Structure 1
Amino acid sequence: MSVLIVIPARYPSTRYPGKPLVPLTGATGKSQTLIERSWRAACAVSGVDRVVVATDDDRIRDASEAFGAEVVMTSDTCRNGTERCAEAHAALGGDYEIIVNLQGDAPLTPHWFVEDLVAGLRNSPGAGVATPVLRCDGAALNSFLHDRKHDRVGGTTAVFSANHTAMYFSKEVVPYTSQTYGDDAATPVFHHVGVYAYRPEALSSYPDWPIGPLEQLEGLEQLRFMEQGHRVLCVEVKARGRQFWELNNPEDVPRLEAMMKDMGLE
């Protein structure tokens, strides 16, 4: 089953303009841009046939080609990463059986997150889209709550049913819990990892659907599938001792750099 990874990247951003070209310094003092680190994370995934960066910005294209990435230029009318992935997949012929959206702000995504995601979608023929979820430990949950207290979006949380069908995604911390947890304790809150795997039929249909009220309110693209009545499969992944965070705000840069140094990542 052929697999394409698309890394959608745009330069304008309400929270962090120019984010894909922000440099991140790892454990050895080596500095690489966010888009390069995301591309290298994608290239580490096994069982993938092709990895491309999809953008509408010449600066991102030039930077990506400079470190060896294949780039697909897309229109500036794409409203989110899923629409950009749909356009890129169509431009490449539309023949891949699974398309992975590895967003360009998640350079710490371990390869097994994506491998488990693809396997989960393959094994669930009733799902047109799948996404990973990671159970928060107390430290991660406290980081979420701290960010929300200071009016920052620290990440997205997910609630799903017993058969792992998504029930809701939110930039708020859901479900609510009044309990306090130690840093290493397991919590009932799941961090939504910003990666998606689509079947081509679901992906190609997506841009034609209207933006619904929940997607509008939350600013979360995956809610469009749910508002149109399509099953979104949540695939639980394990950290295996690996720290994970996405770059959402400028304040996340030192957090990610500290994580890379703690894990010895170049």
Structure 2
Amino acid sequence: MSVLIVIPARYASTRFPGKPLAELTGATGKTRSLIERSWRAACAVNGVDRVVVATDDDRIKAASEAFGAEVVMTSETCANGTERCAEAHAALGGGYEVVVNLQGDAPLTPPWFIEDLINGLQAAEGMGLATPVLRCDGATLNSLLEDRRAGRVGGTTAVFGADHSALYFSKEVIPFQSGSYTDTEGTPVFHHVGVYAYRPDALLAYPTWPVGPLETLEGLEQLRFLENGRKILCVEVDARGREFWELNNPEDRPKIEEMMRKMGVE
């Protein structure tokens, strides 16, 4: 199947203005922008036909082209990354069988997360989209809980049924659990990895639906699918010992840089 990866990027952000151009220093002291590191993560995925950055901002366009990325300019009216992916896919003439939305705040996304996601969607006939979920160990769960205690909106969690169809996504830590866990112990909480793989019909339908109350309250674009009766396949992925975190807030920058140093990411 032909696969397009779109990296949607906007300059305006309530929590972190200018986030795509924020610089991260790797293990060797090399500094690269968040958008470049996300693009490099996308280019490392096997079986992908094309990778583009989709933005409405000339600063992001100039920075992306400077490190060699292909850029598709999209409108300022795109409400979220999924709408921007739909517009970018259309601008490129369509025709791709799978469109992957790799949000530009997850430079530590391993290539096999996306490869497993694409394979999962391809194998699930009748599913219009899929997204990865990662079982939290105790250390990750405690980080999520600490963000909430501090009043920060951090990572997203997901719950799903026996068929791996999503039941709900939240910026709260769900499901409720009263136990405590060691740093390396598995927990019943799944961290939602902010990547989506769509079949074209699901991507085409998305912008035609109104924004619902759950999407509004949570600020999570994928809830629009659930609110309109569309199933989302949750594909469980394996970190293989790698740490994973997203750059949601300015406070996440040193955490991600420390992870890059530990993993030897340049």
TM-score of Structure 1 vs Structure 2, range by shorter chain: over 0.9
| Partner Cα separation in structure 2 for residue 108 and residue 126 of structure 1 | 30
Does residue 247 of the first structure (1) align with residue 234 of the second (2)? no
RMSD across aligned C-alpha pairs, in angstroms?
0.3
1:110-189 matched pairs, under 5 angstroms: 110-189=110-189
Query: Which stretches in structure 2 are left out of the alignment for 5+ residues?
Result: none
Q: How high is the sequence identity, in percent, across the aligned residues?
A: 76
Query: Which stretches in structure 1 are left out of the alignment for 5+ residues?
Result: none
Report the equivalent of 1:59.
59
Report the equivalent of 1:217.
217
| Partner Cα separation in structure 2 for residue 131 and residue 5 of structure 1 | 14
Report the equivalent of 1:17.
17
- What one-letter code is carried by the residue in structure 2 that aligns with 1:150? A
Report the equivalent of 2:227.
227
| Partner Cα separation in structure 1 for residue 184 and residue 163 of structure 2 | 26
Does residue 105 of the first structure (1) align with residue 105 of the second (2)? yes
Report the equivalent of 1:71.
71
- Cα deviation 1:62-115 (Å, max 9, x = unaligned): 000000000000000000000000000000011000000000000000000000
Runs of 4+ residues deviating >6 angstroms: none
Does residue 205 of the first structure (1) align with residue 187 of the second (2)? no
Q: Secondary structure at the match of 1:72?
A: strand
The Cα shift of 1:126 comes to: 1.5
Report the equivalent of 1:256.
256
| Partner Cα separation in structure 1 for residue 2 and residue 136 of structure 2 | 32
Is the CA contact (8 Å cut-off) linking 1:16 and 1:248 kept in structure 2? Answer: yes
Aligned residue pairs total 266
| Partner Cα separation in structure 2 for residue 10 and residue 99 of structure 1 | 19
Q: TM-score w.r.t. structure 1 length?
A: 1.00
Is the CA contact (8 Å cut-off) linking 1:136 and 1:190 kept in structure 2? Answer: yes
| Partner Cα separation in structure 2 for residue 125 and residue 71 of structure 1 | 31
Is the CA contact (8 Å cut-off) linking 1:9 and 1:103 kept in structure 2? Answer: yes
Is the CA contact (8 Å cut-off) linking 1:126 and 1:231 kept in structure 2? Answer: no
| Partner Cα separation in structure 1 for residue 151 and residue 174 of structure 2 | 16
| Partner Cα separation in structure 2 for residue 231 and residue 127 of structure 1 | 7
| Partner Cα separation in structure 2 for residue 142 and residue 93 of structure 1 | 44
- Cα deviation 1:204-260 (Å, max 9, x = unaligned): 110010001100000000000000000100000000011000000000000000000
Is the CA contact (8 Å cut-off) linking 1:157 and 1:172 kept in structure 2? Answer: yes
- What one-letter code is carried by the residue in structure 1 that aligns with 2:17? P
- What one-letter code is carried by the residue in structure 1 that aligns with 2:260? M
- What one-letter code is carried by the residue in structure 2 that aligns with 1:50? R
Q: Secondary structure at the match of 1:131?
A: strand
| Partner Cα separation in structure 1 for residue 155 and residue 127 of structure 2 | 24
- What one-letter code is carried by the residue in structure 2 that aligns with 1:202? A
- What one-letter code is carried by the residue in structure 1 that aligns with 2:108? L
Q: Secondary structure at the match of 1:197?
A: strand
Q: TM-score w.r.t. structure 2 length?
A: 1.00
The Cα shift of 1:154 comes to: 1.6
| Partner Cα separation in structure 1 for residue 98 and residue 26 of structure 2 | 31
- What one-letter code is carried by the residue in structure 2 that aligns with 1:5? I
